[in-house]
Amino acid sequence: MNDKKYYVIDAKAKPLGRISTKVASLLMGKNDPNFAPNVVPNNIVVVINAKDVYLTGTKELSKRYFHHSGFHGGIKEKSFSELKKNNPTEIIIKAVRGMIPRNRLAKDTLKNLKIFVDGTHPFSKENIVEIKE
């Protein structure tokens, strides 16, 4: 269980929901026969081409992300297209964060998610498993 497994998922021309459900299940270790919900597995999930992810239908124009600062009138709002242009990795992080359980392991689980805007990543080719969908 000390071996790290690297899973590479190419997000080019794929819907956000399909990518994020696969990433969330790999991060939690649901693909492993020794799955335990109270253990963070050594699965490193690498998502490449994050800039090419999309939403179906009219959600590309209407989806909004909200954040509140805690002060009166402190609600902030960004559209999907604005976030995709400025920080496409944040879209995938927000989607995966919503799909993993909200417990003490969530922060450690999300540390094993590596997202890259283009198709290159710095990980070696030895222990990498490419996920085709």
Instruction: List, for residues 100-118, the tens digit of each pLDDT value.
Output: 999 999 999 999 999 999 9
pTM confidence score: 0.90
Residue 21, domain extent: 5-54+88-131
Q: Is 75 part of a structural domain of the chain?
A: no
Q: Is the pLDDT of residue 124 over 80?
A: no
Higher-confidence position of 124 and 52: 52
Q: Is 102 part of a structural domain of the chain?
A: yes
12-38 pLDDT, tens digit per residue, is: 999 999 999 999 999 999 999 999 999
Q: Is the pLDDT of residue 88 over 90?
A: yes
State the pLDDT at residue 9: 95
Residues constituting the chain: 133
Q: Is 42 part of a structural domain of the chain?
A: yes
Mean pLDDT, rounded, for 59-66? 94
| 8 Å CB contact between 17 and 95 | yes
pLDDT band at 2 (very low <50, low <70, confident <90, very high): low
pLDDT band at 61 (very low <50, low <70, confident <90, very high): very high
CATH of the domain at 12: 3.90.1180.10
Question: Long-range pairs for 24-32 at CB < 8 Å and ≥24 separation?
Answer: 24/96, 24/99, 24/100, 26/131, 27/96, 27/100, 27/109, 27/110, 27/112, 27/113, 28/100, 28/101, 28/109
Tell me what the pLDDT averaged over the chain comes to: 93
Give residues with Cβ within 8 angstroms of 23, minimum separation 6: 9, 45, 47, 92, 96, 113
Q: Is 77 part of a structural domain of the chain?
A: no
State the pLDDT at residue 95: 97
Q: How many domains does the chain have?
A: 1
Q: Is 9 part of a structural domain of the chain?
A: yes
Torsions phi, psi for 91 (to 5 deg):
-65, -45
- CA distance linking residue 117 with residue 89, whole number of Å: 7
Beta bridge partners of residue 10, listed in sequence order: 48
